[in-house]
Structures are given as C-alpha cells and as structure tokens.
A and B are shown apart, each in its own frame.
Chain A
Amino acid sequence: MSPVLPSLIFCALACSPLPAGTVVITSVADPQHSGTPLTALDGIPLAAGTLIRVGAFPGMDDDEVLDLAAQGGLAGIHGAFTPFGSTFAIGQGVDGAAGGFEIAAKETSANAPWLGEVVSLCVETASGEFLVARFPGATFAATSDTGLEPLLALHLADARIIVGSRAAANRIATSTVPQAGSFGTWLAGHPGITDPLMKLPSADADGDGRSNFLEYATGGNPASGDDPPPCWIQADGSGGWWVRFRHVPGLGSVRYTLQASANPAQSWTDAGGALTPDPESPATMRLRVPPPLDPSGFFRLVVESAP
C-alpha cells in the first residue's frame, strides 16, 4: 500500500453518507435470468455514455407512463420522473462491459415523493433513445426512525419494459419516442369503434383477421381492413431470404417473437438468429435465412404483452 492510500481511504469514506435506502439493480445473467446486453434500436450494445437513473413516476401507472412518453418524448419522462440516488452509466459495476450494468442507488432523504411508488429505471443514450422499465411489486419503502434501512435487490429481467423495444424473451433495446401510447389510448384514437366488445385486445373490430392487439403491435388500423400484411418474406438476392415484420418502436411491453416450423400443422419454435432493424425502415425488423434453404419453411410472428 502506498503511503498516500490511507488518506485516500478516509476521503472515499467521507464521500459515502449513510443512506436511508438502497436499490441494487443488475443486468448480469444468472440461471434464472437471461441477460443479453442492452442494445440501441439498431442492435448495437449500449456504450458507456448511456445514462441510467433509478427513481419513480409518482402517482402514475404503466399506461400513463407510456402515454406520457408517446406524447412528450424524453422531455416528458424527465418531467415526471423523480430520481432516487445518483446517475449511473452503462458498464458501471460490470467492468465496463457494453450493454451491462450493476448498480446500487442510495438515497439519504427519508421522506420523498418516491415512497410507496414502484421502482423504475430510465436508460438514456447519447443519441436520445431511451428505455423505461418498472419493477412490478418492488416499491420504495418508507424508512422508519428505528428500522433497518430498506435494501431492494432487483434484476432487469424481472422488470416490465414500458418504453423500449423487446424481442423474443430476453432482448431489450432502447427506442426512439414511442409511435403509440398505451393500448387503451391508441384504441381511443379510433372513435368509430364503439362496441365495448370490439374494443377488447382479442377482438377484430375491422374483420380483417387480425386482432386489435396485433394491429396495435404492428402499426395497423383496427378500423380498416386495408392494412398491408404485418409479416412478409423476400429473397435477399444472394440465395437467402429476409423474413420481415412490422413493429411499433417504443412499445416495451409488447414482445415480438418470430417463430418457424417445417410443418405448420405441427410445432412451432423460436426462429432463432438475430433480429435486426431494417436500415431502410425503423418500424421493420428482419431476420435473414441464409442458404442452403430447406425444401419448405414457414414463419409466423407472435406478439404478446410481456408480463
């Protein structure tokens, strides 16, 4: 130990006041939580300049947060978000690994607007993409005068992604401003649908064979049967194929899974491979099927509301 280190130690200690509460959040994989790197919408893992904040949206539910993001963008999120503790960066706590983080947010204020609120996470890239996640069941507990300071330990994989992009089971990405708000707000934008039964996510208000929820998730119009197909296949010009589907960037709670089958009457499995945004259309995701091709193959898009 160098002679100057002891004084540095005391300096470091003096910078860390006793907190009233701590929230630990990790994105590092474990047997119960897959943990692929967080990426931007273009599929590139988030870099060190990406900021992470822990906090809460006092008095707001998930749909209200999504609506706010869709209407007000990142500025709207900033206005409603009450931060808890410091600001962190991607790579922090994981030795700089791109797309990963493991942080401990500490706060000394005992009485603050986040008490009783759902723990939320905001990730913001230098380019202005962002992600909002909330942890169902995890709330900021009040600190009593005599009780132990609360500490929550959470994994990003247990979060509900409100704003962002989610593909398959575990791929999470930041997003541009959501192109739609919550399902209810989106449907309210189609006043021609008045029958309450036709407003259900599973209903098909326009009779085009696609449910309202599928229309919502793929940028369709629930009141029109003329929407283009949400999923299609095209030759890539070099012996393979592109399987493409439309999505709505920013709907973090919608999970898109491309499935494949050799015989659609039998089982379907995850198509595998890397889903990437179509450079020509940010609202389109694509999967390349390289040669040699099987004699026949079928693909389908599964959209579901992530838990």
Chain B
Amino acid sequence: MIFRLAALFLAVLPWCGRAKAQESAVTEPRGIYTVKIPGAPSAGTTARTYLGVQLLPDRRFVGLVQSVNGATLRLQYFGDHHLVADPARLCYLHVLTGDGRGFVTDITEYRTTELVCAENLTPWVTPGTQILIRPHPLLSDLLGTANTYGLGEGTDADSADNVVIWDPDTQQERVFYFHSTRARWEEKGIVEDAGGATLRYPHGFYIVRRTPGTLRIKISGEIGANAILLPARPGACVFSLPVNLTGSLDAMVRATGDHAVVSGPNARKADLLTFEETSTGMQRGPFYHLSRGKFSGWREVGVNDSTAAIQPMDFLSTLILRRESGNGRVLVEGSLEPPATPRPPLPPDPEPGEVPLKGEFAMPPTPPVGVSFLIETSTDLQTWTTYASPVQENGKLVFDLPSGQGRAFYRLRVTIF
C-alpha cells in the first residue's frame, strides 16, 4: 500500500512543468460520481438501478507489446512480468491502439518474461501495440467490505437488497447480498464470503432494492475513456460504457464497418440497444441501426423522426444489448472532449438527511514540509475550479462531496512554498 501511495504522489511531479507557476502541480484527474439508489416504493416491491463501471481501479501498466504468440505476449522494456500482477485480483488487458483497439481479455497467468491471456491475441495485438493492464473491480471495491452505503441486509438474498451481475454466457443473473449476521457479502445460495466477487469489465451490474428510502453511493476511480470492444453474446448483455463527455448513442456505438452492431432492415433483424439511465432511473430506446437500401441510420423503435440517438446521456448509463444470434464484438468509443454545446448539469436533487460522502486522494505517509493541497473540480475536464481544502485522515487527503447526485472529476493541486 505504501508503495502505491508513493507512486501516486510521484505521479504529480511530471505535471509541474505544465503549471503556470513552477511551485504548483496537479494530479491526473479522477472521477467521483455520487449516485442515488432509490429504495422500494412500497412493501413487496423492488426498485432497480443500473450502474456502469467506468471509474476504474488504478492501472497496473500502460506500454507497448514486444511480441505476441497466440494467447501469450511479452511487454517492451519490461523486466519481471510478475510485477504487473495484482495478487488479490483478476486483471485484464485492454488494447489501446491498432486494429484491435478496444479488445479486452483477462490475464490468466504471469510468467517471468510474458503474460498469458484468456483468448488468442493474434487478431488483436501486434508488436508495438499499446496496451493497458488493470484489475477488474471487486464487489467490495464498489460497495465496501462492510456495506459502506447501507444497502438493506438480510439472512438470505430474497430478504435483502441485491447486487446483480448478469452472466451473458448463461443468460442468468448472479445475485449478491450483504448477510446481516455474518456481516459479509455473499452470493445467493452460497455460504462464503463474496466480497471478492469480480465485476468483470466491461460488463455492468444493477442494484435491486427491496428496502425503502433512497441511498447515496460514491463511485470513484480512474477515468475509463478508452474505446471498448463489447463482447456481444446471443440474448442479452449488460455493458458498462466508457466515459464519453459527448455521450450520445450516435457518437459512441459503431454502426458500420468492423465491430459494428448488427444492422437490419427492421427492429426484428437488428441488435436492439437500450440504455438505462442511472441518474433518472429511466430507460432510453430500444434503438437499432437501420440498413435498408439507401436508408441507413439509428432508429428509436416506435418513434418517427427521433433525435434521441444524438442526444447526450448520463455518463453512467448502462447498455443492454440484445442480439438474436451469434457472438461478436461492438466497438464503443469513449471521449474526454467536451460536447460542442455544454451539457446541462445533472440536477443534484439532494435527499433530506442524506449521509455525507467523502472524496479522497492518496498521499505519501509523510508529506514534505511546506506543501499545501487544494481539491479542484470539473465536469468537462476543461474548466477547473477550486473546490475544497482537503484534510489529512489516515494517510489520505479527504474532502466532502457535494450533496445529491453528481458526475464530476477532481484533481489535487499541490503547491510547494
């Protein structure tokens, strides 16, 4: 842990040269979203909130590939390949450049001079391709080992709030809940600690509330804006989307060419896409990509002249892609470029008596004397404003997050006097 904190702090240093004054520097921005999770409207009912995973655990490696052989690859200028492993987590490899841009596959084995992946890399990676290695998030990362945000607990899944991961291969859900007496996350029907359950990127998940009252949770991490090849399967898949500040269907989902959605002459023959809006609890779509003779373009089923495909969505929207048959991959683009027209801010809509949430940045155990810290915030990664002076708590710089719901980015400004 100390190693990671120090590494993060050192990452500030390269930014010094970009600052107006030599004595000031900023960290890379991180995303911190506050999300409202509505409770069940009445006894015996449920409320569902979809959540994408786009604020991610810290990357373990970004660099170039030296060689590829089937599912095995070697990194350029890298020593012992065991160093990129995260002992506690399953990591994935994400292709950032080249024809395989967006490809994601798990890393199954670490060897001294090479990595072994779950899939053949040859179609996706060549020497010189830039890749990223990152751990998949865990259930306990997102919701806390001890149920940080107070989801309804119970002695079985049917009496508690549920965290649901949809398995696209079996077309079945995996249901998790916080066991009230064993005080740990468990999977439905399995008596063992499930806090380490992996939320496999780029899949999404959803929370089913059986208990009343709106909760507020925090999602934070590195901003995942790289393009993703979503692995589509027959039936339904629940996908997280990369951060895309333009955030419209038209701008995000590839409709033609390689790794496009299945287009069709009607809604029966094409992939159907619905977007679950976390901020509103509403659904957009279904949409499909029409290809009929000279007519081509996104359509919203049942809507004439719909402009919904070009309208911005909540960053955190989750995509449910339904496909009739055949495996495939669909390229979804992220973007940190702000939209031409600024988006309206998400209404915070705070709940009465909501529990305050705190943001945090790592810091070295013993910061140098004469260093001060400020938190800056932005919603478009372009315009930054000073937000707060953090306080030091347990080796972290902590600050209060705004009330209600929000999608914001934060960075730490470090000033050396």
Chain A: residues with CB nearer than 8 A to chain B?
1, 6-7, 9-10, 12-14, 16-19, 22, 24, 26, 28-33, 88, 91-96, 102-104, 106, 145-148, 151, 153-155
Residues of B within 8 A of A26 (CB): 266-268, 301
Residues of B within 8 A of A7 (CB): 344
Residues of A within 8 A of B283 (CB): 16-19, 106
Given A30-B269, A95-B304: A14 in contact with B280 (beta carbons within 8 A):
yes
Complexed CA–CA distance, A95 and B303 (Å): 8
Top 4 A-B residue pairs of the complex, sorted by shortest distance between their CB atoms: A28-B266, A6-B344, A104-B301, A26-B266
User: Is there an interface contact between A96 and B284, defined as CB atoms closer than 8 Å?
Assistant: no
Given A18-B276, A102-B301: A154 in contact with B282 (beta carbons within 8 A):
no
Closest CB-CB distance, A76 to chain B, in whole Å?
28
Complexed CA–CA distance, A94 and B265 (Å): 11
Complexed CA–CA distance, A19 and B302 (Å): 15
Complexed CA–CA distance, A262 and B175 (Å): 68
Is B372 located at the chain interface by the 8 A CB criterion?
no
Complexed CA–CA distance, A92 and B303 (Å): 6
User: Is there an interface contact between A148 and B320, defined as CB atoms closer than 8 Å?
Assistant: yes
Identify which of residues 39-65 in chain B touch chain A, using a CB-to-CB cut-off of 8 Å.
Answer: 46, 48
User: Is there an interface contact between B284 and A147, defined as CB atoms closer than 8 Å?
Assistant: no
- Residue from B173, B265, B302, B322 within 8 A of A30 (CB atoms): B265
Chain B: residues with CB nearer than 8 A to chain A?
46, 48, 158, 162, 164, 166, 172-173, 175, 208, 210, 236, 238, 264-269, 272, 274, 276-277, 280-286, 292, 299, 301-305, 308, 311-312, 320, 322, 324, 340-341, 343-344, 347
B162, closest chain A residue (CB): A146
Residues of B within 8 A of A9 (CB): 311-312, 344
User: Is there an interface contact between A93 and B303, defined as CB atoms closer than 8 Å?
Assistant: yes
Complexed CA–CA distance, A106 and B301 (Å): 11
User: Is there an interface contact between B284 and A13, defined as CB atoms closer than 8 Å?
Assistant: yes
User: Is there an interface contact between A93 and B302, defined as CB atoms closer than 8 Å?
Assistant: yes
Complexed CA–CA distance, A103 and B301 (Å): 6
Complexed CA–CA distance, A104 and B299 (Å): 12
Residues of B within 8 A of A18 (CB): 48, 276, 281-283
Complexed CA–CA distance, A146 and B304 (Å): 33
**In the complex, given contacts A10-B347, A147-B173, A151-B236, what are 20 additional A-B residue pairs having Cβ atoms less than 8 angstroms apart?**
A6-B344, A7-B344, A9-B312, A13-B280, A16-B283, A16-B284, A24-B268, A28-B267, A30-B269, A31-B265, A95-B304, A102-B266, A102-B301, A103-B302, A145-B162, A145-B208, A146-B162, A146-B164, A151-B272, A153-B324
Given A24-B267, A28-B266, A151-B272: A14 in contact with B282 (beta carbons within 8 A):
yes
User: Is there an interface contact between A10 and B344, defined as CB atoms closer than 8 Å?
Assistant: yes
Complexed CA–CA distance, A145 and B175 (Å): 10
Closest CB-CB distance, A197 to chain B, in whole Å?
42
- Residue from B173, B280, B322, B341 within 8 A of A151 (CB atoms): B322
Residues of A within 8 A of B311 (CB): 9
- Residue from B264, B282, B344 within 8 A of A17 (CB atoms): B282
Residues of A within 8 A of B280 (CB): 10, 13-14
User: Is there an interface contact between B286 and A151, defined as CB atoms closer than 8 Å?
Assistant: yes
Residues of B within 8 A of A145 (CB): 46, 158, 162, 208, 210
- State the main secondary structure of chain A at its contact with B: mixed
Closest CB-CB distance, B176 to chain A, in whole Å?
10
Residues of A within 8 A of B236 (CB): 148, 151
- Residue from B162, B286, B320, B341 within 8 A of A24 (CB atoms): B286
Residues of A within 8 A of B303 (CB): 92-93
Residues of B within 8 A of A148 (CB): 166, 173, 236, 238, 320
Residues of A within 8 A of B208 (CB): 145-146
User: Is there an interface contact between B304 and A92, defined as CB atoms closer than 8 Å?
Assistant: yes
Residues of B within 8 A of A102 (CB): 266-267, 299, 301-302
User: Is there an interface contact between B266 and A155, defined as CB atoms closer than 8 Å?
Assistant: yes
Complexed CA–CA distance, A88 and B304 (Å): 12
29 A-B pairs with CB atoms under 8 Å apart are A6-B344, A9-B311, A13-B277, A13-B280, A14-B280, A17-B282, A18-B48, A18-B281, A26-B266, A26-B301, A30-B264, A33-B266, A88-B302, A93-B304, A94-B304, A96-B304, A102-B302, A145-B46, A146-B162, A146-B175, A147-B172, A148-B236, A148-B238, A148-B320, A151-B272, A153-B268, A153-B272, A155-B266, A155-B268
Closest CB-CB distance, B236 to chain A, in whole Å?
5
User: Is there an interface contact between B267 and A153, defined as CB atoms closer than 8 Å?
Assistant: yes
A85, closest chain B residue (CB): B302
Closest CB-CB distance, B258 to chain A, in whole Å?
23
- Residue from B164, B267, B282, B301 within 8 A of A16 (CB atoms): B282
Closest CB-CB distance, B180 to chain A, in whole Å?
18
User: Is there an interface contact between A1 and B268, defined as CB atoms closer than 8 Å?
Assistant: no
Residues of B within 8 A of A10 (CB): 280, 344, 347
Which of A12, A13, A31, A91 has the most B CB atoms < 10 Å from its CB? A13
User: Is there an interface contact between B301 and A93, defined as CB atoms closer than 8 Å?
Assistant: yes
Given A96-B304, A146-B208: A30 in contact with B341 (beta carbons within 8 A):
no
Residues of A within 8 A of B164 (CB): 146
Closest CB-CB distance, B142 to chain A, in whole Å?
17
Residues of A within 8 A of B324 (CB): 153
Complexed CA–CA distance, A1 and B343 (Å): 10
Residues of B within 8 A of A17 (CB): 281-283
Closest CB-CB distance, B227 to chain A, in whole Å?
25
- Residue from B173, B268, B340, B341 within 8 A of A33 (CB atoms): B268
Closest CB-CB distance, A17 to chain B, in whole Å?
6
User: Is there an interface contact between A22 and B286, defined as CB atoms closer than 8 Å?
Assistant: yes
Closest CB-CB distance, A198 to chain B, in whole Å?
43
Residues of A within 8 A of B343 (CB): 6
Residues of B within 8 A of A155 (CB): 266, 268
Complexed CA–CA distance, A96 and B282 (Å): 27
User: Is there an interface contact between A30 and B286, defined as CB atoms closer than 8 Å?
Assistant: no
Closest CB-CB distance, B249 to chain A, in whole Å?
13
A157, closest chain B residue (CB): B268
A6, closest chain B residue (CB): B344
